[in-house]
Amino acid sequence: MAKISSLAKIRDMHDNEKQVAQRSYAESQETFEKIARELYSLLKKKEMAESTFENAIQASTSIEKIKEQSAYIEKLTNQIQTVQLLVQRARNDMNSKQTKLSEAYIEYKKYDKMIDLKKEEAKAVLKKQEAEFMDEMSMQQYLRQNQR
């Protein structure tokens, strides 16, 4: 039983690591989603700005307006590139934390399985001892009956 309790302590330690990894993964997932939403917003703005730019060119709008719109689109493009890098970093971070979470879960399950196996072994040993005891009792009872 001492072996089972020591395995249980190790399993609990791995359970704590798993919970920390779960929280860390959830945080990285939220960060990724937040940055991805920002990227989506910028892409929508750029799409609308390009549409406005096309309409301005066809409607023969002043050169100043067209330059402003072009500069705005270029600014959005630069922001999009920056945010795309942030999205990629957040995705990589999220993936690495997911890997750590999987590893922690595997370690937890490994010790959980070892504990289950040790308990089954202990049950089997106890059952075998009970059977041997019953055999011994039956043998003694038989021998007593034959001695009479």
Angle between helices 2-58 and 63-147 (to 10 degrees): 160
Cβ-count burial of 38 within 10 angstroms (0-12 exposed, 13-18 middle, 19+ buried)?
A: middle
pLDDT tens, 69-116?
899 999 999 999 999 999 999 999 999 999 999 999 999 999 999 999
- Is the model's pTM score more than 0.85? no
